[in-house]
Chains A and B, each alone.
Chain A
Amino acid sequence: MTPSALLLPRALLLRAVLLVAAVAGMATGWAGTLLADPPVKAVASFSILADMVGEVGGERVKLTTLVGPDGDGHVYQPTPADAKAVATATIVFVNGLGFEGWMDRLVESANFTGPLVVASKGVEPLAVGGGASGEGADAHAGHGHGEIDPHAWQSLENGKKYVRAIADALSEVDPAGAGVYRANADRYLADIEMLEQEVRASIAALPEGRRSIVTSHDAFGYFARAYGLRVLSPEGVSTESEASAGDVAALITQIRKEAIPAVFMENITDPRLLEQIRRETGAVMGGTLYSDALSEADGPAPTYLRMFRHNVQTLTQALSS
């Protein structure tokens, strides 16, 4: 570089200064986003699981939920945006037990190679219709036998297993946050524990003969077994199967015979068939239960715990009246 070059073009100098400033600005900008950006990008397959991951992960996890509030995870069709979220994720959480049949293909097509966490892995699987006393077998002749019921989160005991699995998996991909995850999980587990006491107490208060209910799809097997209720439903365990006249008739006969007091709608299923059954048996419509998805934030069941509390309150109200 000659002296004249140094003296001559002020424009060049100005440009150089601007360039340096710009680079510095970008660098600080990066630094800024790096600090504000959560270290873990997680994808959760459906709203209930996402709520749990959010509770455990807190601010360290940027969370994407594939099947949102009031969505049906059984029959979901992933979009390209979902594939993109999965492809760029640090970690992916699924329920497992055959709930998200579409997930394997999505993970494969998105070329996701990170950890795929099955939240239900510690859960003891329950066969479809294997509720409190196997009574479901009658109403389900013809389908569902030997199939695994995926709705394991409908028991708080299992919910705790989910939370532990989530905390372990997050600590593994983000060791720096392990302490945070542990603390969040412990606080959350204590909340679940408290709710569990509450649930057991309110169901124990129900009269012995009023512990049977009917829902529109078979999502409450784990709930029934954990808390000593009997739950019957016309549709199989997945919302995909179509009810048969034989199943519906068996259910109606059973409701009449045992004087089951109430039927309940679910947020994700077609209410028409249930309404028909209610009409024919004289049972009351007990309200809406949240089985496979949370409600929107302003609804009655925006989080896992509030969903559970809402379901139990709805049940006990209808059954004790």
Chain B
Amino acid sequence: MIFDLVAAPFFEFAFMRRALVGCLALSLGTAPVGVFLLLRRMSLTGDAMAHAILPGAALGFLVAGLSLPAMTVGGLVAGLAVAVSSGAIARLTALREDASLAAFYLISLAAGVLIVSVHGSNVDLLHVLFGTVLALDDAAILLIATIATFTLVAIALIFRALVMECLDPQFLRSVSRLSSPVHFIFLLLVVLNLIGGFHALGTLMVVGLMILPAAAARFWTEEITAMIAIAMIVALTGSVAGLLLSFHLSLPSGPAIILIAGAICVASMLAGPVGSVLAARLPRPHLEA
């Protein structure tokens, strides 16, 4: 019975196995990136960057058709251009980083919509640009797995600096010249994971798999490593449960996955042990002592 509900779909259908592998790989990469976005109060940066990628992916499609490398490279270039230029403007001028990012991503988004519209009174390019998790081919899975691997290795390498940037960016800047490179590497990871997610989740919902697990994990622990682990578990749970929901109830898979992660997030906000609605109302033993 439970086997039928949970495991049989994956044994019976190759596309379900591919979707599962794709989502698992994606979750491993997006969860830690999401946690650092959250801790650095940059949660909306993910959303902004997701839009910033659009014109690059669109150009890639226009040049090379439905080609994974062209669309990936295009998205990467556009995303990095926005990340680097907004970071540079923030450091060189009076404009704060959030404002300069907003400016550049809006420019990029407008360019993307323009490209899409000029090309496509034709096929709805947005549908073509963003794949669906049910149609992952080998190349897309390899791309997502490579991005996840790269993300984990990179985060391990710059972990200490990243944590310090979260806690006290001024301090890091004063004791080390690593601040700027770390920041850019981190933005690179954000862009890479968003691109991997586009191929898997379709539309802009990949941002959900980045932010929602991190936001949920925030209510379970205050320790960063544990938070990353919990975020990964939430993302993995959302992926598996969402796919099964999509399978058994015939719901579109992308939204199903994100909504499960969202439900876990809301439940954590209400009843998680750290800083949730419930936790705030309970008496705090360590203050009584």
Which residues in A have some Cβ–Cβ distance to B below 8 Å?
A: 66-68, 70-72, 74-77, 79, 141-143, 239-250, 252, 268-273, 275-277, 279-280
Contact = CB atoms under 8 A, between A and B. Distances in A.
Interface string B123-140: 110011001101111000
A244 B66 contact: no
B247 A246 contact: yes
A280 B15 CA distance: 7
Contacts, number: 106
B123 A244 contact: no
B246 interface: yes
Given A242-B255, A246-B250, 12 more contacts: A71-B123, A72-B122, A76-B121, A242-B132, A242-B202, A244-B246, A244-B252, A246-B251, A268-B123, A270-B128, A272-B135, A273-B134
Nearest to B134: A248
B9 interface: yes
A248 B135 CA distance: 10
21 contacts: A67-B121, A71-B121, A71-B122, A72-B124, A75-B124, A243-B132, A243-B134, A245-B16, A245-B250, A246-B249, A249-B12, A249-B247, A252-B15, A268-B123, A270-B66, A270-B131, A276-B18, A276-B135, A276-B137, A277-B15, A280-B13
- Quick one: which of A68, A79, A143, A244 has the most chain B CB within 10 A? A244
B250 A141 contact: yes
Contacts of B256: 244
Given A68-B122, A246-B246, A249-B16, A271 B134 contact: no
Contacts of A252: 13, 15
Contacts of A269: 123
Given A246-B246, A273-B132, A275-B135, A241 B252 contact: yes
B152 to A, nearest CB: 27
B243 interface: yes
A243 B251 CA distance: 8
Interface string B51-71: 000000000000000100000
B254 interface: yes
Nearest to B252: A242
Size bracket of the B interface: 35 or more
Contacts of A240: 124
Q: Mostly helix, strand, loop or mixed at chain B's interface?
A: helix
Contacts of B180: none
Contact of B123 (A70, A77, A143, A245): A70
Nearest to B199: A272
B253 interface: yes
Contacts of A268: 123
B249 A142 contact: yes
B127 to A, nearest CB: 6
Nearest to B9: A249
A111 to B, nearest CB: 22
B15 A247 contact: no
B85 interface: no
A275 B140 CA distance: 14
A246 B248 contact: yes
Nearest to B130: A270
Nearest to A66: B121
B14 interface: yes
B117 interface: yes
B247 to A, nearest CB: 4
Contact of A276 (B15, B121, B246): B15
Contacts of A71: 120-123
A243 B131 CA distance: 11
A276 B199 CA distance: 14
Given A67-B121, A72-B122, A270-B127, A276 B134 contact: yes
B137 A275 contact: yes
A242 B16 CA distance: 16
Nearest to A69: B122
Interface string B90-129: 0000000000000000000000000001001111100110
The 5 residue pairs across chains A and B that have the minimum distance between CB atoms: A142-B250, A246-B250, A242-B252, A245-B246, A272-B135
Contacts of A66: 121
B251 A244 contact: yes
A79 B12 CA distance: 46
A294 to B, nearest CB: 12
A273 B9 contact: no
